[in-house]
Structure 1
Amino acid sequence: MTDDALLTPQESARIREGIAGAVLGGPEGLTDSLEHDPAGYLRLVDASRVGAEEAGRLLREAVQGARAAGHSWDTVGRVLGVSRQAAQQRFATRGPEAAASDGPDRRVLTPLTAFTEMAALAEAGRAGWQLVGYGAFYHEVEASEHPWEHARVTLAAGARHRRMEAEGWIPVGAGWFPWRYYKRPLDPTGKTPADG
């Protein structure tokens, strides 16, 4: 383990095993086909490609999350084993200017961090603004005729996601690793539809 490594060798091994297990276990019958079917190896290549694309997406979003939590490009680069400049060139994204510009029906809440975004969404929601998009350091909200509440849940909480959706929470987008965002309308008295 290097001085800059934040994971133990055992933690790193568990992650590697988990990814290998997901790649081998995702496609139906892949593991068995590798014993007798040359086409199984092409399915393995395709499954590995999907795994690598997903791992790349998670890394990009994790880097943006670290930046949103206040970490410098220098610190992020050290964790990745590259220079500050290399990390910034590879992972810097377009900011909130990529979202719709402010107007009477849409606003961009920025600059936000992982520690301030939920308070900003709570304030906007009370004022009748609902979450419609997000990215590194910003959330895009749209005007509504009623107040909204917003929630953030880790992507790994599958049972909690199903429970929230059963309670009237609406997922917004596909998630921004490690979070999934939800919104739910409130009536003018502050009650949710589930409150009756």
Structure 2
Amino acid sequence: MSGEAFLGPQEAARIREGIAAAVLGAPEGLAESLEHDSDGYLRLVDASRVGAEEAGRLLREAVQGARASGHSWDAVGRVLGVSRQAAQQRFADKPADALPSAASPYLPGAPERRILSPLSAVNEMAALAEAGRMGWHLIGYGALHHEVELSDRPWEHCRVTLASAGRQRRLEAEGWIPVGAGWFPWRYYKRPLSPAKN
């Protein structure tokens, strides 16, 4: 079964070339070692394994993002070139975990926490903006939800694509705090808006 293509052949080729370049280029000296060192090929296998694991994680998060944005299992299956049932069996029961909480909300004195749900890429920033005005800040996220913690100050939140390394550096230089490692394709940031209330 052939998938419904949303990318052109050149776009698909650039992605394939980028993955190959990352696998060959990330381990120091890997590409050069393949000319003279048989152990280089074992390093290549290991680097390819890491690349495949990351590609699998990105695919799971992309599918969860498509579902959270309102796309049906049928639409997801068409893009993947599989049936609705096959897509649902592969991805529905394997949601990625939210980032772990640093403290249990049930411990005495622990900050109050709340789950904002259901969320999608379309409405999550508006939900975070509203929560931030009331003193809630992002501490974790996962498929269809964000976890926020109450503080004594208002917060602002933003997101950028994981491919925006330059913008990420600028945000961090401006005092934005990264939250977690990102949820493909987004990286989330928060920043307090004013000093704490006395």
Q: Using structure 1 for the length normalisation, give the TM-score.
A: 0.88
| Post-superposition offset of 1:94 | 4.6
Partner residue in 1 for 2:120: 113
User: Residues 1-196 of structure 1 correspond to what in structure 2 (within 5 A)?
Assistant: 4-92=4-92, 93-94=94-95, 105-187=112-194
- The more displaced of 90-99 and 111-120 is 90-99
For CA contacts below 8 A with separation 6 or more, give which structure has more relative contact order. Answer: 2
Identity of aligned residues (%): 76
Number of positions where the alignment pairs a residue of Structure 1 with one of Structure 2: 188
**Closer/same/farther in 2, CA of residues 81 and 172 from structure 1, 3 Å limit:** same
> Structure 1 residues 179 and 7 mapped into 2: Cα distance closer, same or farther (>3 Å)?
same
Contact 1:96 1:137 in 2 (8 A): no
CA shift, 1:149, in A, is: 0.4
Compute the TM-score of the two structures, normalised by the length of structure 2.
0.88
Deviation at 1:188, TM superposition (A): 6.2
Q: Distance in 2 between matches of 1:77 and 1:37?
A: 42
By how many angstroms is 1:167 displaced? 0.7
Residues 65 and 114 in structure 1, CA contact (< 8 A), matched pair in contact too: yes
Structure 1 spans left out of the alignment, 5+ residues = 190-196
Aligned Cα root-mean-square deviation (Å): 2.4
Q: After superposition, what is the alpha-carbon deviation per residue over 1:170-193, rounded to whole angstroms, capped at 9, x for unaligned?
A: 00010000000000011169xxxx
Shift of 1:84: 1.2
Higher helix share: 1
